[in-house]
Amino acid sequence: MTTSTGSAAAAPAHERVLSPGLEGVLAGETALSKVDGANGRLTYRGYRIGDLVEHGTYSSVANLLWTGDWDPEARLATSAVPDAVLTTLRALPRSAKPMDALRTAVSAWGATQTLDWPPTPEQARALTSFSPSALAAFARIREGKDIVEPDPSLNLVEGFLYQLTGETPEPATARALDAYFIVGAEHGFNASTFTARVITSTMSDIASAIAGAIGTMKGPLHGGAPSEVVDQLAKMGSVEHAEEWLRGALDRGERLMGFGHRVYRAYDPRAAALRKVAEGMEHKPDWLQTAIGVEDMALRLLAERHPDRPLKTNVEYYAAPVLMGVGLTPDLFPATFSLARHAGWTAHVLEQAADNRLIRPDVRYVGEAERDLPG
């Protein structure tokens, strides 16, 4: 982690620039991904996201992030859930949210491991392999079903679907979700990734860092948008009724979910990669056809209403159709996003630990001046 030092750090607090949300603050350096929001480009260790989706797998992309080496044959399978973690998951109420269950499972897993400092690529692999099995186990436990043990012959994404349903997924289904995992794997110093790096900077363990990242991802401003896209498409009903609904929503000052991004000012390259996958799915349900048909209409209306504010399609818009298309329920979307992000989170943990400095920003005090207690 590289931090700035010198005269700015020593300046009086009132002379420093306040940036709420740390927007625009350069807080470190990374070799993992480059997010070029102005031009709508994203690379992992220099490789374009579209090329990685077309030619790679989540296993190979995770290995790239952890090691820096591109190996298209890299393998990563799901792993068994320790008994102690299963006991913990069974103790949760069936009404528990999947994100709560995943966060709890990662914490419990960490208590069963010997996680010495510094974190290692082996720890990253072990945790990334464990979490899909844990989420699948919880999904089945809450439905009163037996858990499905992992099949080591399947790649991680195939294995996750197999453990969710008890059936080996169709290749096209597994491929669609694998593409989603790839585009969700890494995205710079977003809120959850920064959380993981802050925790790591204290020399805490990798399980603590990822549990904290999951807690951050649970917030609706970070990981919840895809399920809201599904709700939005359901309200439209069809392409024929979409324009009337869209105009009404904009007239009411409502946000169109799946459009606009804090970083991207051009078309989100992750959305472009997922649209290509969605269009190639053999059996597209009606709402997926609606999503494809509505996109250009929504972009046209947004350009009319906000000509000076670029609001382009973001990754959540096509994440929703892909996740629904592979059979996931909307309440599993944020937790599945978290599974995909494990590769990037753990890679950032490794990068932070390799050149560690405690992350400890300053804060401006705006309270009462120094005073005496009342008599």
Give the distance from CA 139 to its chain's centroid.
Answer: 19
The strand ranges marked E within the chain are: 33-36, 41-44, 47-48
CB 288 within 8 A of CB 334: no
What is the arrangement of strands in the sheet containing 33-36, beginning at the earlier edge strand? Answer: 33-36, 41-44, 47-48
Instruction: Give the number of other Cβ atoms within 10 Å of residue 222's Cβ.
Output: 16
Paired tokens of 348: 């950032």
- Indicate if 15 belongs to the active site: no
- Indicate if 261 belongs to the active site: yes
Residue among 158, 186, 187, 261 flagged as catalytic: 261
Residue among 158, 186, 295, 316 flagged as catalytic: 316
Q: Which of 124, 150, 6 is nearest to 61 (CA)?
A: 124
Count of all residues that appear for the chain in the document: 375
Give the distance from CA 133 to its chain's centroid.
Answer: 17
Paired tokens of 106: 């990662």
Peptide bond into 118 cis (omega under 30): yes
Catalytic (active-site) positions? 261, 316
